[in-house]
Structure 1
Amino acid sequence: TNGHLLADVNGSLTTPWRVLAIGPLKTVMESTLGTDLAAPAVAFDKAKLKPGHASWSWAILKDDATVFDVQKRFVDYAADMGWNYTLVDADWDRKIGDAKMKELADYARTKNVGILAWYNSSGAWNDTEYSPKSALLTKAARAKEFARMKAVGVKGLKVDFFGGDGASMLAYYVDLLKESAQAGFLMNFHGATLPRGWSRTYPNLMTVEAVKGFEFATFDQKDQDPVARHIAMLPFTRNLFDPMDFTPVVFGDIPNIKRATRNGFELGQAVLLLSGIQHYAETPDGMATVPAYVKGLLRELPRHWDEVRFLDGEPGKFAVIARRAGKQWFVAGINADEQPREVS
């Protein structure tokens, strides 16, 4: 090009980091390079830094379930399973309201369950009608909303429907993380960019979607049919370094969809897929159909992991890994092929 297509710069030029993890699958799978290179953690109240497991009605029951009585049932469900949180999804402000949301949070507290509340990221990039909307766009608005949610008793926020990866949008993410950390809230981003190691810098960032998660395969059979291979790819790709809110595990029915995976495949995801808060898609009715030992495992799974070991796998075909919490090891594997597979 003889320099004709190169940028002209006056002064210094700053570019983003680009990181490659290169090596055998074991090396890449066990690497923490993506988070190691992130900035050290900002201050956050460690007493409020509680990773865990959550019940979530929207995955299966969708919009109609965001009402007080259903959410109270999901709080009871979380309590019965020994889970830490219940996520109340879109339109809670209109369908439940602050007063009943506080009642729900107060009730949940008696069950040792925290309430997480959904928010619309808002802005000109977003024409969805789901609410609360336009409540987090400015520093002043965020301060007001965080104070309001503290009064309600909410433990964390799920912010959804972001718009692209431009500089102003990335700055919005960081502002949300900084100010929510100062306010003592856990955060979850949906419809969002890759987290890029943010969970190290902002330890209150529990998880980020940034993936075609479980919900994507609940609307059309053509998206459900290849889901096993999709999930068998994720431990090697999207979920390598950063927490991923795939919202796994369904044993029962998905309305109007023939589930393409078996129950063992579903259970394995609870260990294979890594998220600071694991939002389980299964409903109380679906969980009631499984053996006691399955519920027992989902009650007892650690809320955070100390170490991972890659045992075997091939992206998109199968994955077997071991995770350690303290002195306990948990081994899980999934097979996306129709034929049985032996692993030694």
Structure 2
Amino acid sequence: MTLLRPSARLLRTALAGMAAALPLLAQALVSPDGRIQVDVRLDAQQRLVYSVQQAGKPVLLPSRLGLQLADADLSNNLRLVKTSPPRRHQERYQLPAGKRQQVSYVANEQRFELENPGGQRLLLDVRVSNDGLALRYTAPGEAGEKRRFVAETTCLQFAPEARAWLQPMSVAGTGWKGTNPSYEEHYQTDIPVGTPSPSPAGWVFPALFRTGPTWVALTEAGMDGSFHASRLQADSSGGNYCLGLPMAREVFTGGHLLAEADGTLVSPWRVIALGTLATLVESTLGTDLAPPALPATARFEPGAAAWSWALLKDEATVFDVQKRFIDYAADMRWPYLLIDAEWDTRIGDAKLKELVDYARRKGIGIHVWYNSSGDWNESPQTPKSALLTPEARKREFSRLAEMGVKGVKIDFFGGDGASMQAYYLDLLRDTLAAGLMVNFHGATLPRGWARTFPNFMTAEAIKGFEFVTFGQADQDKVPGHAAMLPFTRNLFDPMDFTPMVFGDIPNIQRRTRNGFELAQAVLFLSGIQHFAEIPEGMATVPAEVKNLLRQLPRRWDETRFIDGEPGKFAVIARRAGKTWWVAGFNADDSARELLLDAPFLRQRAGQLYTDGEGPRDFRIEPLPKSASTRLTLQPQGGFIARFP
């Protein structure tokens, strides 16, 4: 037996004491199925870092975490105080509209409590589910103590060979009448990680990446109006993507830009979905991490809507045209009509009430447009500046509800600052109290609001159909742009793209075939699906296609990914009751062969609605029972197949 010398014995004692004072971080947190592993630790500089593996292969390399507040640096020189044991988190909830009605969320979670040299604490909550992970910070504080956010060191470090599919964030105050940012840019597809954003404002959420065989989608959820909305910084040198801040102009008049709290400051969840494309397309992480639904005194029904403005613009916002569109909605069995900007001057309250009453007799609910703006942009459309105070909102929403209006479309917001986020939440709460549905346009990404607010139906936050009516350049890009959306913008949140035109677009040569347009009715998810087609265009459509559009489900019970590649094509199946609706479109210039070989479709007979010989033609044919079905998607074409 070898005896330790006194100096060695003292060293061992000292090291044991240090270990007791500085507990090691807990073992890696794993997903319920054991495939995803998240390691959280302090690096050699006492900075908080994490890394992610799936099936033993790296997904995210060591990446930094942390917050910097006005009175506390919680990103450097940290000491681990305590680690909670892992525990199971389970919840079930309902979505008014989305990938499925009934959602089950299961994750393993753990809390890490850290401290800086001044004794100020940072709590990091980590959840890992089978489809990804989420991170959230808490900076505890006493009542009356103001906590002000300064910066965040949350990053994602990808391997150099990883690829990215990203949308640039527009610069605040640019664009038409200074209405940017509204998440209305084209995506850059399949670019090397580390490619700088063409905009100094960075990249928007959701952000999509592929590293090796694994796809990664980044977003955030749990926005309660106290925090600003984030994006990715423009500079991602070396494949290191860090969270960025809104620009100085992105505030409500007189409001603050960055998060602040009286006492404890809690961040939104930073959500990282990962796995196959099927995992991402079927995931509900973006709403799983949102707050539970608020109680409602009214029932809000999703559904399709007719809308004149898409093709006919401002001149159609008159009484006679809107009455004709009520008849059109009733004929198509779409439950809503949206009356757009300047209804207050072109129609007026008295005639609006007449339209609302006429629509009610036809079984149609009316939605009306509002301008959100104070002075953060120069948009002139009215009603404007009618929603800026609690008193004004209560008066306006009560008046609409008494009139029988079912919902509001609110447009032209000012960005992602904390005070602007608070304005969104005020609008959602006040419309909920008034029993009105909400659609935000010229707006931010919703970030899970569809779960929390049963009256929140949809938001634009995309370069939608209206842009293809303004110029040929956007129309030329629409096939590839649309083929990005099931994998990015519409991945977790409802999207008001306002799809589907079968006829002509004034002064524009349409690039998509009718099958491509038809497929959007199922591929794109929106609580209120505003269809752009007008009665004259719908009159050119075969009766069988019109009947199909009359039968579109208002809600989906299940979603399954079949095939696809971001920016190129997408094929997705959605179930309503016992019936499966399968839709797909092809953005490429060449035809694409497709095999529908899904177990849930085998030995089911169906009906196919797809492109005919010409770009405006349809082909409708039965699909016999089979173990698999082969289809050919025409260039810029698509289909819907219905399997009862």
Tell whether the structures are fold-level matches, with TM greater than 0.5.
yes
Per mean C-alpha deviation after superposition, the further-off stretch among 142-151 and 8-17 is: 8-17
Residue number in structure 1 paired with 2:410: 159
> C-alpha displacement at 1:151, in angstroms?
2.5
CA distance in 2, matches of 1:150, 1:7: 43
CA distance in 2, matches of 1:103, 1:276: 26
Give the aligned CA root-mean-square deviation in angstroms.
1.6
1:135 maps to which of 377, 381, 386: 386
Q: What is the SS of the residue equivalent to 1:49? A: coil
User: Please, what TM-score do these two structures have when normalized by structure 2?
Assistant: 0.52
Question: What are the equivalent positions in structure 2 for 1:199-210 lying under 5 Å apart?
Answer: 199-210=450-461
Whether 1:190 aligns to 2:441 is yes
CA radius of gyration, larger in = 2
Residue number in structure 2 paired with 1:24: 276
| Counterpart amino acid of residue 26 in structure 1 | A
Residue number in structure 2 paired with 1:246: 497
Per mean C-alpha deviation after superposition, the further-off stretch among 149-158 and 270-279 is: 149-158
Residue number in structure 1 paired with 2:297: 45
Question: What are the equivalent positions in structure 2 for 1:105-144 lying under 5 Å apart?
Answer: 105-144=356-395
2:285 maps to which of 30, 33, 36: 33
Whether 1:342 aligns to 2:593 is yes
CA distance in 1, matches of 2:295, 2:266: 27
| Counterpart amino acid of residue 99 in structure 1 | A
CA distance in 2, matches of 1:170, 1:230: 27
Residue number in structure 2 paired with 1:175: 426
> C-alpha displacement at 1:7, in angstroms?
5.3
2:321 maps to which of 70, 79, 93: 70
Per mean C-alpha deviation after superposition, the further-off stretch among 153-162 and 123-132 is: 123-132
Identity, in percent, stands at: 69
Whether 1:325 aligns to 2:576 is yes
Q: What is the SS of the residue equivalent to 1:226? A: helix
Whether 1:304 aligns to 2:555 is yes
CA distance in 1, matches of 2:308, 2:373: 23
Q: Can you list the C-alpha shifts for 1:70-91, whole angstroms capped at 9, x where unaligned?
A: 0001100000000000000000
Question: What are the equivalent positions in structure 2 for 1:4-19 lying under 5 Å apart?
Answer: 8-10=70-72, 12=139, 14-19=266-271
CA distance in 2, matches of 1:73, 1:126: 33
Q: What is the SS of the residue equivalent to 2:273? A: coil
Residue number in structure 1 paired with 2:352: 101
Q: 1:2 to 1:38 in 2, by over 3 A?
A: closer
CA distance in 1, matches of 2:266, 2:292: 20
> Is 2:269–2:289's contact at 8 Å kept on the other side of the alignment?
no
Decide which structure has greater helix share: 1
| Counterpart amino acid of residue 340 in structure 2 | D
Whether 1:56 aligns to 2:118 is no
2:335 maps to which of 84, 95, 103: 84
> C-alpha displacement at 1:9, in angstroms?
2.5
| Counterpart amino acid of residue 452 in structure 2 | T
| Counterpart amino acid of residue 475 in structure 2 | Q
CA distance in 1, matches of 2:496, 2:388: 23
Q: 1:195 to 1:95 in 2, by over 3 A?
A: same
Q: What is the SS of the residue equivalent to 1:313? A: strand
Q: What is the SS of the residue equivalent to 2:503? A: coil
Residue number in structure 2 paired with 1:257: 508
Gaps of 5+ in 2: 1-44, 48-66, 73-119, 121-138, 140-264, 596-644
| Counterpart amino acid of residue 328 in structure 1 | T
Q: Can you list the C-alpha shifts for 1:40-68, whole angstroms capped at 9, x where unaligned?
A: 0001135x311000000000001100000
> C-alpha displacement at 1:129, in angstroms?
1.1
Q: 1:256 to 1:2 in 2, by over 3 A?
A: same
Q: What is the SS of the residue equivalent to 2:516? A: helix
Greater than 4 Å deviation, 4+ residue runs = 5-8
Higher relative contact order (CA 8 A, sep 6+): 1
Q: Can you list the C-alpha shifts for 1:211-247, whole angstroms capped at 9, x where unaligned?
A: 0000011111011101000001100000011100000
| Counterpart amino acid of residue 35 in structure 1 | T
> Is 2:571–2:582's contact at 8 Å kept on the other side of the alignment?
yes
Q: What is the SS of the residue equivalent to 1:21? A: strand
1:279 maps to which of 530, 539, 551: 530
Residue number in structure 1 paired with 2:467: 216
Q: 1:324 to 1:6 in 2, by over 3 A?
A: closer
Q: What is the SS of the residue equivalent to 1:323? A: strand
Q: What is the SS of the residue equivalent to 2:573? A: strand
> C-alpha displacement at 1:8, in angstroms?
4.8
Q: What is the SS of the residue equivalent to 1:22? A: strand
| Counterpart amino acid of residue 243 in structure 1 | P
Q: Can you list the C-alpha shifts for 1:106-153, whole angstroms capped at 9, x where unaligned?
A: 000010000000000021102111011111111100010011112322
Q: What is the SS of the residue equivalent to 1:322? A: strand
| Counterpart amino acid of residue 112 in structure 1 | G
CA distance in 2, matches of 1:317, 1:148: 47
Q: 1:117 to 1:8 in 2, by over 3 A?
A: closer
CA distance in 2, matches of 1:87, 1:2: 56
| Counterpart amino acid of residue 591 in structure 2 | P
CA distance in 1, matches of 2:483, 2:498: 15
Q: What is the SS of the residue equivalent to 1:225? A: helix
Q: What is the SS of the residue equivalent to 2:592? A: coil
Decide which structure has greater strand share: 2
Gaps of 5+ in 1: none
CA distance in 1, matches of 2:352, 2:266: 45
Aligned residue pairs, count: 342
Per mean C-alpha deviation after superposition, the further-off stretch among 127-136 and 86-95 is: 127-136
| Counterpart amino acid of residue 423 in structure 2 | Y
